[in-house]
Amino acid sequence: MSKILVTGGLGYIGSHTVVELINAGYEPVIVDDLSNSHPKILEQITKITGKKPVFHQLDLCDDASVKNLATAEPRISGIIHFAASKAVGESVQQPLKYYRNNIYSLVNLLNVYYGKPLNFVFSSSCTVYGQPDELPVTESAPVKPAESPYGNTKQIAEEILKDTIASGANYKVIALRYFNPVGAHESALIGELPIGVPQNLVPFITQTAIGKREKITVFGDDYNTPDGSCVRDYIHVVDLAKAHVAALKLMEKESFKGYDVFNLGTGVGNSVLEVIAAFERSTGVKLNYTIGPRRSGDVEQVWGDVTKAKDQLHWQTMLDIDTMMKSAWAWEKYLSQNPL
């Protein structure tokens, strides 16, 4: 069985990917420092799959721990690198935390496995496109100056990976540019765990519906979009997780060389008001929402051209916006009855 190191494997996207790796016959080995997760997620993964993955609790910025990791796990065929800090607003307040955690962890990991023939998947983001000039945005669209230190770390990381490949490392690399991951596993045993007040739309919706928040504010209805609210490409986290397996499969082919990048989205945009309507329609729960001012730094609209992923990863999304909302709601209800 092929062993895959999954950094950040107890996080939101990482935990769903660990499940899909097991389903596909891989042996995931999880690395996480629990800075934005919970040890119980390992038990939840075990409940879903019937298999308990090996787990190394360590900080990827710690040189000694990462060296020990490479000694403990020499025979891996791939790495999926999710571990990073991801709160855009916090990155503006604490840029050095983000440059250290998101860049140094990557450099450390590439360093200790340098020279080994490894397939490396990197979690990038549609944030690299900023507000694209053309929609849907393709992978060849220009990378725009970053809006935040967080966004900048994704751009820098992509450059680091390209330079590492160019230096003759034995790595093959796929950077996956996620659009907006939402939803949860159908078992409702794993999902997103926002710390404090959620900044992202869907956790804010579900926390409002459950009564943790009084109301949700729609950040602006005066954009140049069909209903005036911002448009994004929301993708179910289980579809997203499956794309990581597809990326590994592509790199396992002799014909794949070097570095490539793929958009991961549905290819369809939904407005904030459409997402709220989908939540109400699919769950039967009415949401208390108001229209407020624009949030600074928001792009008006973005959705992805996902043709390249369809053609080359042989992957496409299966789950629609209603399924995304229903599963996010089931997870919120599970959490309220089973706090971690």
Q: Which does 82 bind (CB under 5 to 8 A by kind): ligand NAD, ligand WQD, none?
A: ligand NAD
Contacts to ligand NAD from residues 150-179, by CB under 6 A: 178
Q: Let me know: does 218 contact 290? Beta carbons within 8 Å.
A: yes
19: contact with ligand WQD by CB under 6 A = no
Question: Cis peptide leading into 142, omega within 30 of 0?
Answer: no
Residue 61 binds which entry of ligand NAD, ligand WQD, none, CB below 5-8 Å type-dependent: ligand NAD
Specify the residue for token string 């093959």. 172
Q: Helix or strand or coil: residue 259?
A: strand
Tell the residue number behind the tokens 């725009």, with chain if given: 144
Query: Does residue 12 touch ligand NAD according to CB under 6 A?
Result: yes
Instruction: Pick the stretch among 25-33, 111-119, 273-281, 327-335 that binds ligand NAD (CB under 6 A).
Output: 25-33
CA distance 27 to 18: 9
- Are 328 and 336 in contact by the 8 Å Cβ rule? The answer is no
Stretch that binds ligand NAD, among 55-63, 132-140, 215-223, 227-235 (CB under 6 A): 55-63
* Helices and strands counted in the chain (H then E): 12, 13
Among ligand NAD, ligand WQD, none, the one that 2 touches (CB under a kind-dependent 5 to 8 A) is: none
Q: Token digits for 55?
A: 């787990």
Contact between 272 and ligand WQD per CB under 6 A: yes
Point out which span in 14-22, 92-100, 131-139, 210-218 binds ligand WQD (CB under 6 A): 210-218
Among 232, 242, 244, 326, which residue sits at the site for ligand WQD (rule: CB under 6 A)?
232
State the nearest-atom distance from the C-beta of 255 to ligand NAD, in Å.
Answer: 27
The number of residues making up the chain comes to 340
Residues 186-205 that bind ligand WQD (CB under 6 A): 199-201, 204
SS (H, E, C) 225-239: CCCCCCEECEEEHHH
Verify binding: residue 256, ligand WQD, rule CB under 6 A: no
Is 86 an interacting residue with respect to ligand NAD (CB under 6 A)?
A: yes
Q: Compute CA 151 distance to the chain's CA centroid, rounded to the nearest angstrom.
A: 13
Site for ligand WQD in 126-145 (CB under 6 A): 127
The residue (of 28 and 151) whose beta carbon lies closer to ligand WQD is: 151
**Of 150, 171, 259, 289, which residue is the catalytic one?**
150
Q: Which amino acid is at 182?
A: V
CB of 191 within 8 A of CB of 328?
Answer: yes
Q: How far apart are CA 241 and CA 16, in angstroms?
A: 6
Q: Does 37 bind ligand NAD (CB under 6 A)?
A: yes
Token reading at 292: 């407020």
Q: Give 1 or 96: the residue with its C-beta nearer to ligand NAD.
A: 96
* CB neighbourhood size of 121 (10 A): 26
Is 150 an annotated catalytic residue?
A: yes
C-alpha to C-alpha distance for 239 and 244, rounded to whole angstroms: 9
Site residues for ligand WQD per CB under 6 A: 86, 88, 125, 127, 151, 180, 199-201, 204, 216-219, 230, 232, 272, 295, 298
What residues are labeled active site?
150
